[in-house]
Chains A and B, each alone.
Chain A
Amino acid sequence: MTQFTALEDFFCAETQSHYAKDLSYTVRAFESYDASAWNEKQRAQVKARCDALAALLPRWLQEGKVRLGGPLAAQVNAGRVQGAGKIH
């Protein structure tokens, strides 16, 4: 899993997500998700986003939109939040 931090605010159409300056993100493999509760369409959607993020990261690094690693002030000492939720 590769962690990166956004250096500016931007929206990515491929992952359907906003990336906010100074917040950190993790590139995860699709296989790391528990997809048992998802239907085929949802699986395909999440896999496409995972693949897109992995493919886009080198370009974002080159463009200076992100840098590798966690929060700047606490690269070693950053705590970690993980969660999942739903819009109904």
Chain B
Amino acid sequence: MNRLLIRLLGALFAPLYAVTHGAGTRTVIADAVVDRIDVGGTGTLVFRTSGDVEVATLTFSATAYGAASGPTATAAAITADSSATGGTIAKAAQVGVTNGDVILCSVTATGGGGDIELNSVVVSAGQQVSVSSLTYSAMP
């Protein structure tokens, strides 16, 4: 009886491991994710070392991303950090005032394969750090 129950449960839940989402659903997901950055105030894009120490903090627009087109939302203008703390960047977080780290992603030098690529990941104290383009695409 128990074996039968396990088989039945397995058959019911197995398809869930390979779900994909319809186009409209992906748009809704993208909007829902990026809108979390705006809750409670203006969000920030924080570059961090591999040990999670802040290197530079850039500021999103009051509405960080525009409405998603298909599965992809594009960030509005991002204000540069004109005087970075400095360090070697390894990752980035898109942070909301209320929701904390909303999106985490990798950062490398251009050609290094990161989600965000910078011309250099080594930042001296006081240097300016800017981001020229940023998109978020919802899961398939």
Residues of A within 8 A of B (CB): 4, 6, 9, 12, 15-20, 23-28, 30, 33, 42, 45-50, 52-53, 74, 76-88
Contacts and interface: CB of A to CB of B under 8 A. Distances in A.
Interface of B: 17-20, 29-30, 33, 49-50, 75, 80, 88-91, 94, 103-106, 108-123, 127-140
21 contacts: A15-B108, A23-B91, A23-B106, A25-B114, A27-B113, A28-B113, A33-B110, A45-B111, A48-B111, A53-B112, A74-B139, A79-B139, A81-B103, A82-B133, A83-B75, A83-B115, A85-B116, A85-B117, A86-B129, A87-B120, A87-B122
Contacts of A33: 110-111
Contact of B128 (A79, A81, A88): A88
Contact of A84 (B20, B94, B131): B131
Q: Which A-B residue pairs are the 7 nearest by beta carbons?
A: A49-B111, A17-B112, A17-B108, A85-B131, A18-B90, A25-B113, A83-B134
B16 to A, nearest CB: 10
